[in-house]
A and B are shown apart, each in its own frame.
Chain A
Amino acid sequence: NAGVTQTPKFRILKIGQSMTLQCTQDMNHNYMYWYRQDPGMGLKLIYYSVGAGITDKGEVPNGYNVSRSTTEDFPLRLELAAPSQTSVYFCASSNDPYRETQYFGPGTRLLVL
């Protein structure tokens, strides 16, 4: 059981470039989440999904897109990278976010220059 895996671990982007952050979980969880964490700050929810084919916005969705075509994968797309998107991105999954724990991936550190 690998849990939640994220790739890449670290990436440098130029302003205006695009990229996809990958997230995969092997626990058959329906719920998946993307958070960002700016230096010295708490986590902010970007997007979440309650199952394949269903996604919804979190607190800070602007500049990002997601899709959920399978239960396992929940990629996060940055279309026109901006310096404000420099952050650490965490993916998480859960079987039941009310009664059970969320499992977090190791994070992707993104630097936009």
Chain B
Amino acid sequence: DAKTTQPNSMESNEEEPVHLPCNHSTISGTDYIHWYRQLPSQGPEYVIHGLTSNVNNRMASLAIAEDRKSSTLILHRATLRDAAVYYCILRDVDDKVIFGPGTSLSVIP
């Protein structure tokens, strides 16, 4: 099974960059790395995804290690609205999409 491991929780000061790590040492060559976040009392929402190259969008950047066994979600300037649980996920061996426990990000004003 393709699994990911993330720290349980992280803290950041408001307006500072945040680097959220994810390890996925069993990733296969065709697995895309997806990041979602879940704000309190809401469903998960898409953040970003990538395969091999680093990716940027309006929400965040995704830095993927050269061996693809780890990746880092980068929030360039954390705001209070970024306080959420962040999930790094890969597909499972078939078509399942399995969420791990994620990283709970707290943003300190």
Task: Point out which of A31, A45, A97, A105 has the most chain B C-beta atoms below 10 A from its C-beta.
Answer: A97
How many angstroms between the C-alpha atoms of A48 and B91 in the bound complex? 13
B21 CB–A CB distance under 8 Å: no
Residues from chain A with Cβ under 8 Å of B97 in the complex: 33, 45, 48, 92, 94, 97, 102
Residues from chain A with Cβ under 8 Å of B49 in the complex: 99-101
Q: Which of B26-82 contact A (CB under 8 A)?
A: 30-32, 34, 36, 42-46, 49
Known: A104-B43, A104-B45, A107-B43. A42 touches B91 (CB 8 A): no
B90 to chain A, nearest CB (A): 9
Contact of A43 with B95 in the complex, beta carbons under 8 Å: no
How many angstroms between the C-alpha atoms of A45 and B44 in the bound complex? 13
Contact of A48 with B95 in the complex, beta carbons under 8 Å: yes
Interface residues of B (CB under 8 A from A): 30-32, 34, 36, 42-46, 49, 85, 87, 91, 94-102
Known: A43-B87, A59-B98, A103-B46. 11 other contacts (CB 8 A): A42-B85, A43-B44, A56-B95, A90-B44, A92-B97, A97-B97, A99-B32, A99-B49, A100-B49, A104-B43, A106-B42
